[in-house]
């Protein structure tokens, strides 16, 4: 049931078909190169794209821009304490800034870091410290057809194998990402978090939670983990995050703001080391690269993120979106996760081999047919891995309504009707770093 009404609106429009065709061509068939004004329903990401509440806008006006000792920082500190249960907070400009601060304080060259699945900036920051990021997902994580409640879990079996291979001394940190963004936004159970905590204790490692979507995760725990059926979202969040020595957070996700992030911990020494690094890379520790007003809005957003009616609305909206898409005839990753629906482009456009980028072809058709923007997460974004050919349609928080999702489903239906006439693509330019080519590369349709 919807938990808010509209107080401010932003005009959107669908460019004419010939215009969309032209836009696609000038964007080099890469949706990242499209102007947002030319997009009708923008499902590129849920990161920093949501709508703030009236309470957050009010906090923004009252934001304290003092360089040191800002009142807005006190508000953030108390929100993090109340909602997440940590005493110390080091603010950063966004999640990856927090990653740089924390992993720089924890890691040394040659270390090995297991994580259920590293998000791409996490992987890059671990590697940037000279350490080796290793994914330990459960086997079902990348299978779109297995129905299981917690496909985001950390595989203890894989983690133990890794420690046997490299030795416990090489593993100073174990990370768990909740929800598991890179595994279709699948949730992680509190039981799994407990086991990972015990595993970290066994090998004398620190335990970090990447908490970007901790509130969405808590909602799934309440629905799916019997022990917590009667608990509040706030209680579940406290319990799960309480097992960690530290968390990294992107305010752009469950902080319900457009910018910001932080590290939080109860460990006084880790706090001190992180604070020093934050001064170097982010800013003085009471603003950390954010404007005071953004800190103030984040303090309010964190409290709103654990509101159970807001969360029920959010998770149900995405589930409903998944059902609309399925009814339109496109196979999707099941179960639907917390922030996006993933389309199985390999199955939807089965006439295209992986080399012809079926995922990117589907992204282009969604724009061509309906002005919809999604993102490819298949062989275009991840060259030389045998990932399934997925297209992610991420849902900004509190932003779109059923009519928008019906439009996307109608668009998908129109694309599927074109069948084998949907062309594959080939690369027209090859950026220097293959790992991030999908952000800038240009493509051409195959004749
Ligand atoms: C978004 C995200 C990050 C990085 O946060 P930014 O604010 O985009 O820098 C880290 N981990 C996960 C799981 C994320 O989803």
**Average confidence (pLDDT) per 10 residues, the chain, 447 residues:** 91 98 97 97 97 98 97 98 98 97 98 96 94 96 92 98 98 98 94 98 98 98 98 96 98 98 98 97 96 98 97 97 97 95 96 96 98 95 83 97 97 96 94 82 93
CA of 122 to the centre of ligand 1 (A): 8
CA of 197 to the centre of ligand 1 (A): 22
Question: Which residue out of 96, 152, 175, 281 has the highest number of ligand 1 atoms within 8 Å of its CB and is therefore the one to mutate?
Answer: 96
For the chain, list the domains and their CATH numbers.
Answer: 17-39+308-445 (3.90.1150.10), 54-305 (3.40.640.10)
In the DSSP assignment, the letter for residue 52 is P
pLDDT at 176 (0 to 100): 98
CA of 121 to the centre of ligand 1 (A): 7
Residues linked to residue 91 through DSSP beta bridges, in sequence order: 262
Q: Which of 190, 162, 164, 181 is nearest to 377 (CA)?
A: 181
At 30, list the tokens: 């890469």
The protein residue with its alpha carbon nearest to ligand 1, atom 5, reads 95
pLDDT above 90: percentage of residues in the chain: 93
CA of 397 to the centre of ligand 1 (A): 15
Euclidean distance between CA atoms 42 and 50, whole angstroms: 11
CA of 120 to the centre of ligand 1 (A): 8
pLDDT at 120 (0 to 100): 87
The protein residue with its alpha carbon nearest to ligand 1, atom 8, reads 95
Number of C-beta neighbours around residue 430 at 10 A: 9
Question: Which residue out of 50, 122, 128, 250 has the highest number of ligand 1 atoms within 8 Å of its CB and is therefore the one to mutate?
Answer: 250
The protein residue with its alpha carbon nearest to ligand 1, atom 10, reads 95
pLDDT in tens, 87-119: 999 999 999 999 999 999 999 999 999 999 999
Atom of ligand 1 minimally distant from the CA of 96: 9
Atom of ligand 1 minimally distant from the CA of 261: 7
Greatest C-alpha distance within the chain: 62
CA of 181 to the centre of ligand 1 (A): 9
The pTM assigned to this predicted structure is: 0.96
Euclidean distance between CA atoms 68 and 60, whole angstroms: 18
Question: Which residue out of 213, 253, 436 has the highest number of ligand 1 atoms within 8 Å of its CB and is therefore the one to mutate?
Answer: 253
CA of 99 to the centre of ligand 1 (A): 9
In the DSSP assignment, the letter for residue 53 is P
At 346, list the tokens: 């390999």
Would you put residue 436 in left (φ > 0), alpha (ψ -120 to 50) or beta? alpha
List of residues 6+ apart from 37 with CB closer than 8 A: none
List of residues 6+ apart from 389 with CB closer than 8 A: 344, 345, 346, 354, 358, 359, 378, 379
Euclidean distance between CA atoms 47 and 34, whole angstroms: 17
List of residues 6+ apart from 303 with CB closer than 8 A: 79, 82, 83
Q: How many CA atoms lie less than 13 Å away from 162 in the CB half-sphere?
A: 27
CA of 382 to the centre of ligand 1 (A): 18
CA of 190 to the centre of ligand 1 (A): 21
Residues linked to residue 428 through DSSP beta bridges, in sequence order: none
List of residues 6+ apart from 189 with CB closer than 8 A: 149, 150, 153, 221, 224, 225
The protein residue with its alpha carbon nearest to ligand 1, atom 7, reads 95
pLDDT at 329 (0 to 100): 95
pLDDT in tens, 133-178: 999 999 999 888 899 999 999 999 999 999 999 999 999 999 999 9
Q: 């879990």: which residue's tokens? A: 153
The protein residue with its alpha carbon nearest to ligand 1, atom 6, reads 95
The protein residue with its alpha carbon nearest to ligand 1, atom 11, reads 119
Which uninterrupted H or E stretch holds 326?
helix 308-327
Euclidean distance between CA atoms 97 and 398, whole angstroms: 25
Q: How far is CA 143 from CA 119, 184, 190, 223, 380, in A?
A: 18, 10, 22, 22, 19
pLDDT at 157 (0 to 100): 98
CA of 209 to the centre of ligand 1 (A): 12
Q: Which residues line ligand 1 (CB under 6 A)?
A: 47, 94-96, 119, 121-122, 177, 181, 210, 212, 250, 252-253, 261
CA of 88 to the centre of ligand 1 (A): 20
pLDDT at 1 (0 to 100): 77
CA of 250 to the centre of ligand 1 (A): 5
The protein residue with its alpha carbon nearest to ligand 1, atom 4, reads 95
pLDDT at 286 (0 to 100): 96
Question: Which residue out of 123, 181, 396, 436 has the highest number of ligand 1 atoms within 8 Å of its CB and is therefore the one to mutate?
Answer: 181
């Amino acid at each position: 049931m919807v938990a808010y009404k509209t107080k401010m609106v932003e005009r959107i429009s669908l460019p004419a078909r010939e215009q969309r065709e032209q836009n696609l061509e000038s964007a080099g068939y890469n949706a990242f190169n499209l102007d947002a004004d030319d997009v009708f329903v923008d499902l590129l990401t849920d990161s920093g794209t949501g709508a703030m509440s009236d309470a957050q806008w009010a906090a923004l006006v009252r934001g304290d821009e003092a360089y040191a000792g800002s009142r807005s920082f006190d508000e953030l500190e108390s929100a993090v304490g109340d909602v997440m249960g940590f005493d110390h907070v080091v603010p950063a400009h966004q999640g990856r800034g927090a990653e740089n601060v924390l992993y720089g304080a924890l890691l040394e060259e040659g270390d090995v870091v297991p994580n259920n699945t590293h998000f791409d900036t996490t992987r890059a920051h671990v590697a940037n410290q000279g350490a080796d990021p290793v994914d330990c997902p459960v086997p079902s994580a990348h299978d779109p057809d297995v129905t299981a409640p917690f496909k985001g879990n950390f595989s203890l079996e894989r983690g133990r194998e890794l420690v046997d291979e490299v030795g416990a001394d090489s593993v100073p940190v174990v990370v768990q990402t909740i929800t598991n963004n890179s595994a279709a936004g699948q949730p992680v159970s509190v039981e799994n978090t407990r086991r990972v905590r015990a595993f970290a204790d066994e090998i004398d490692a620190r335990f970090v939670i990447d908490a970007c979507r901790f509130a969405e995760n808590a909602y799934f725990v309440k629905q799916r983990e019997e022990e917590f059926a009667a608990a509040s979202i706030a209680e579940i969040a406290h319990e799960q995050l309480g097992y960690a020595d530290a968390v990294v957070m992107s305010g752009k996700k469950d902080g319900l703001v457009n910018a910001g992030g932080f590290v939080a911990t109860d460990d006084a020494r880790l706090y001190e080391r992180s604070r020093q690094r934050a001064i170097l890379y982010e800013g003085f520790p009471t603003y950390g690269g954010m404007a005071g007003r953004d800190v103030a809005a984040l303090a309010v957003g964190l409290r709103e993120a654990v509101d159970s009616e807001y969360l029920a609305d959010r998770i149900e909206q995405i589930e409903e979106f998944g059902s609309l898409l399925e009814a339109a005839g496109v196979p999707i990753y099941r179960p639907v996760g917390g922030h996006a629906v993933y389309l199985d482009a390999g199955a939807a456009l089965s006439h295209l081999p992986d080399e012809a980028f079926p995922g990117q072809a589907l992204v282009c058709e969604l724009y061509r047919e309906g002005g919809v923007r999604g993102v490819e997460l298949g062989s275009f974004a991840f060259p030389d891995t045998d990932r399934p050919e997925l297209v992610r349609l991420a849902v900004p928080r509190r932003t779109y309504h059923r009519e928008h999702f019906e439009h996307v489903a109608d668009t998908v239906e129109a694309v599927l009707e074109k069948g084998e006439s949907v062309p594959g693509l080939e690369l027209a330019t090859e950026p220097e770093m293959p790992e991030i080519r999908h952000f800038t590369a240009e493509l051409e349709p195959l004749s």
